[in-house]
A and B are shown apart, each in its own frame.
Chain A
């Protein structure tokens, strides 16, 4: 069984985001890069399927600048077998990333299962997974909390709006986008970290995967930081007066009611 995991490298959750000189992108200097946490669930799920399936291999793909190879190695250290890096510009959009990854997947002899995170925590777009599935021509199930693997089909439990769950049975090959709760990602063992350092990561360019800069549909400009958080307000008085004041503030200042 050939299993693929698509991951994205994102700034660490504790990063204080700054903008670059012309506000066209974030300032990447000094950023600690990590694998997007939802993608860790995807890697873990792929490894668990592999461990139950004799002969299965897990290949990790990531599109991005040269630095993303570090995150591919993180996935290799967790236990993935192979890595593929497709070089795309720093400020590529979801469509270009999806086209690049889908192009790389289509070059593979056989794709049985693709895992992704339900979204990346940097742009939170939650659309690259669907775009990849569309481009490869396989069905996809997103926001998956639990998966039951059968012969040729997978029963997925997915989260939908309002705290409800949806059960979907999908035929393979397919793409599954992981939600937090699908599993507990493992911590890489040291022998695997050592091995991962020596594993070869296949390097591909846009041209190798049949994609081009023309696949970028979004041009970014004028990034802005959110306004600084204001100090909390304490409303005093008797309950009736407090309620009245709260309603006034929500209406006049916050303008939410």
Chain B
């Protein structure tokens, strides 16, 4: 016991007391959230992916070179923390050291030495990146610069401390300091006592920095070092992520969606705590990149600010006093700009679910406040009365198939697969042609299929994503009832929105089907030899990924396989494709809304497609088809560039 013990106890007590209180508040705030969070399930998978993403830094590494810089700092801190613990213990009780570990100790020292210098290098790069390279998603951040300066100072204090340790103690494991030991000459001629005093001084500098850092963390974006791990553990495990189903039979439920930030769930809050504002989400956001007011990064930061602003009311459970979620930062325009393309979520290295917040806010706006873009009202009404977002009579739903001799399920209940036509295939003239091609292909492959005909209703995807869960459920229940009545087992559809809804979201309503998107179905038929391309299609084609196929369901290869199977066809990728692909602008119900702010998403995306020089833009989604066709027209290229569905391209070759 020395004066150092007492001093350390006091200083550490203050520091940990302060940060501990802050963390406790954050915990209580998280617990005070009123929304329903996910349930803990599939534990082995969770542990495995947490290990690979946290310890293995898998998601962080998806972007380079910042990924390796982050991993270096992360792994380095893991190792150096062992030394910091040793340092704290030795201060509490003079003489405690891990030296008794023998070769393990010297190895550890060498590893710490390596990481100290490596972190310094990584911090240097990070500074260079922020201050010189200035990547757009990162933006200016005092917080970030402060954290980097703190981290750098911690390393420098360790190096200087080690330097004086080498001079004062001349340990027999001096070789472990394989870089610092070469700097001993810089110290000059100091006595062992002076060196020891300077060692102790820098040890304290380091310890105070550590303690100071611990006080800084809970109030900063650096909170991610505590929150991101648990957030990774609780992440959505599957690629497919159905929206939360609201139980309308629960009469105690009086609030639908999130009117206030406290209507979100604990998991949403953990998302807010986890954001370290890296900007990967913003870089890929089609709304942000076309000058809309929505940035997924700002959304998360602004919601966190909103929560902190309402901290006292939330902690006291005085929810009436909590201010609305929609404020001067998170405006209606922010909420309605989202195409739910999910580029933000897939890019996020700490697995934040940005779309969940958008969805919950929309649910409140639509169902509680009847507040939404005016043009959507007609869409809702059409879906209510005619089960289609377009104003067509439900009685005309099967008219597209006239002359094609396609049986309805009532006429042919025994079938290989039900062809789900969807509203676009039924009513949109351009997409009716896609359906004709697909029907041709099914017939050529001798697939026995039926349609629901006039019994088919809109799946309700657009209603659900716009926030009208009630309307969605009405449609979903009706469709499930119809399909179960006909004992439907397998479904194929040419619409990714129908596909996603039928496959992932009808389960909650008793609809369990094996659902295929036509790209997958056609790829299988080709593999099985049921469809053989014989005619050459000498075209250069670029494929535009549909968000609800790709990011929402992980289907990237199948549509490309269908195209590549066509003789003579040359497939050229756009600069952004697969997970980094840009949305056409129609998802999340945006198909049914006016786009009045900034550039048009479809025009920007079409520009990327045109840049490939391909004369055919292939799509696999009716909404993409519409948006890209309009985009081609906006660029005045309709005479030289065609937009075609993959089924149409394939049909040409058979």
Residues of A within 8 A of B392 (CB): 14
Residue of A nearest to B470 (CB): A190
**Chain A, range 21-60, C-beta contacts under 8 Å to B:** 30, 32, 34
Subset of 14 A-B contacts with CB under 8 Å:
A12-B393, A13-B391, A14-B386, A15-B395, A30-B395, A32-B385, A32-B394, A34-B381, A187-B372, A187-B377, A187-B380, A189-B369, A189-B370, A190-B256
Given known contacts A30-B395, A190-B470, A193-B470, A12 and B369 CB-to-CB distance under 8 angstroms: no
Check if A187 sits within 8 Å of B385, measured CB to CB: no
State A222–B147 Cα separation when bound (angstroms): 85
- Is there a chain B Cβ closer than 8 Å to A186's Cβ? yes
Check if B368 sits within 8 Å of A16, measured CB to CB: no
State A191–B248 Cα separation when bound (angstroms): 11
Check if A189 sits within 8 Å of B393, measured CB to CB: no
Q: A189-B369, A189-B370 are in contact. List 12 more A-B contacts (CB 8 A).
A: A14-B386, A14-B392, A14-B393, A14-B394, A15-B395, A16-B396, A32-B394, A34-B381, A187-B366, A188-B370, A189-B368, A193-B470
Number of A residues whose C-beta is below 8 Å from B? 16
State A34–B393 Cα separation when bound (angstroms): 13
Residues of B within 8 A of A14 (CB): 385-386, 391-394
Residues of A within 8 A of B374 (CB): 184
Residues of B within 8 A of A15 (CB): 393, 395
Residue of A nearest to B256 (CB): A190
State A98–B368 Cα separation when bound (angstroms): 36
State A12–B374 Cα separation when bound (angstroms): 20
Chain A min CB distance to B463 (Å)? 12
Residues of B within 8 A of A30 (CB): 395
Per-residue CB proximity of A144-174 to B under 8 Å, as 1/0? 0000000000000000000000000000000
The interface of chain B, by Cβ under 8 A from chain A, is 254, 256, 366-370, 372, 374, 377, 380-381, 385-386, 391-396, 470
State A188–B372 Cα separation when bound (angstroms): 12
Check if B396 sits within 8 Å of A12, measured CB to CB: no
Chain A min CB distance to B460 (Å)? 15
Compute the total of residue contacts between A and B using a CB distance below 8 Å: 40
Which of B254, B370, B385, B470 is the one whose CB lies under 8 Å from A12?
B385
Residues of A within 8 A of B385 (CB): 12, 14, 32, 34
Residues of A within 8 A of B372 (CB): 187
Chain A min CB distance to B255 (Å)? 9
Residues of A within 8 A of B377 (CB): 187
Residues of A within 8 A of B380 (CB): 187
Check if B386 sits within 8 Å of A32, measured CB to CB: yes
Per-residue CB proximity of A184-223 to B under 8 Å, as 1/0? 1011111101000000000000000000000000000000
State A32–B386 Cα separation when bound (angstroms): 8
Chain B min CB distance to A180 (Å)? 13
Closest 5 interchain pairs by CB? A190-B367, A14-B393, A187-B370, A12-B385, A32-B385
Residue of B nearest to A78 (CB): B370
Residues of A within 8 A of B394 (CB): 14, 32
Chain B min CB distance to A253 (Å)? 29
Residue of B nearest to A186 (CB): B370
Check if A12 sits within 8 Å of B386, measured CB to CB: yes
Residue of A nearest to B368 (CB): A189
Residue of B nearest to A14 (CB): B393
Residues of A within 8 A of B370 (CB): 186-189
Chain A min CB distance to B396 (Å)? 7
Residue of A nearest to B390 (CB): A14
Residues of A within 8 A of B470 (CB): 190, 193
State A239–B381 Cα separation when bound (angstroms): 45
Residue of B nearest to A193 (CB): B470
Instruction: Pick from B256, B369, B391, B395 the residue with the most CB of A within 10 Å.
Output: B395
State A30–B395 Cα separation when bound (angstroms): 9
Residues of B within 8 A of A191 (CB): 254, 368
Residues of B within 8 A of A32 (CB): 385-386, 394
Instruction: Pick from A32, A187, A191, A193 the residue with the most CB of B within 10 Å.
Output: A187
Chain A min CB distance to B135 (Å)? 42
State A34–B382 Cα separation when bound (angstroms): 11
Check if B367 sits within 8 Å of A16, measured CB to CB: no
Chain A min CB distance to B184 (Å)? 74
Check if B368 sits within 8 Å of A190, measured CB to CB: yes
Residues of B within 8 A of A12 (CB): 385-386, 393
Which of B254, B369, B391, B395 is the one whose CB lies under 8 Å from A16?
B395
Check if A189 sits within 8 Å of B367, measured CB to CB: yes
Residues of A within 8 A of B381 (CB): 34
Residues of B within 8 A of A16 (CB): 393, 395-396
Residues of A within 8 A of B396 (CB): 16
Residues of A within 8 A of B369 (CB): 189
Residues of A within 8 A of B368 (CB): 189-191
State A100–B370 Cα separation when bound (angstroms): 34
Residues of A within 8 A of B367 (CB): 189-190
Chain B min CB distance to A42 (Å)? 17
Chain A min CB distance to B427 (Å)? 11
Residue of A nearest to B393 (CB): A14
State A22–B367 Cα separation when bound (angstroms): 45
State A193–B370 Cα separation when bound (angstroms): 11
Chain B min CB distance to A183 (Å)? 12
State A189–B363 Cα separation when bound (angstroms): 11
Residues of B within 8 A of A186 (CB): 370
Residue of B nearest to A12 (CB): B385
Instruction: Pick from A13, A14, A30 the residue with the most CB of B within 10 Å.
Output: A14
Residues of A within 8 A of B391 (CB): 13-14
Residue of B nearest to A187 (CB): B370
State A34–B385 Cα separation when bound (angstroms): 8
Chain B min CB distance to A198 (Å)? 11
State A105–B396 Cα separation when bound (angstroms): 41
Per-residue CB proximity of A1-28 to B under 8 Å, as 1/0? 0000000000011111000000000000
State A32–B388 Cα separation when bound (angstroms): 13
Residues of B within 8 A of A188 (CB): 370
Residues of B within 8 A of A13 (CB): 391
State A230–B50 Cα separation when bound (angstroms): 68
Chain B min CB distance to A15 (Å)? 6
**Chain A, range 131-154, C-beta contacts under 8 Å to B:** none
Per-residue CB proximity of A208-247 to B under 8 Å, as 1/0? 0000000000000000000000000000000000000000
Residues of B within 8 A of A34 (CB): 381, 385
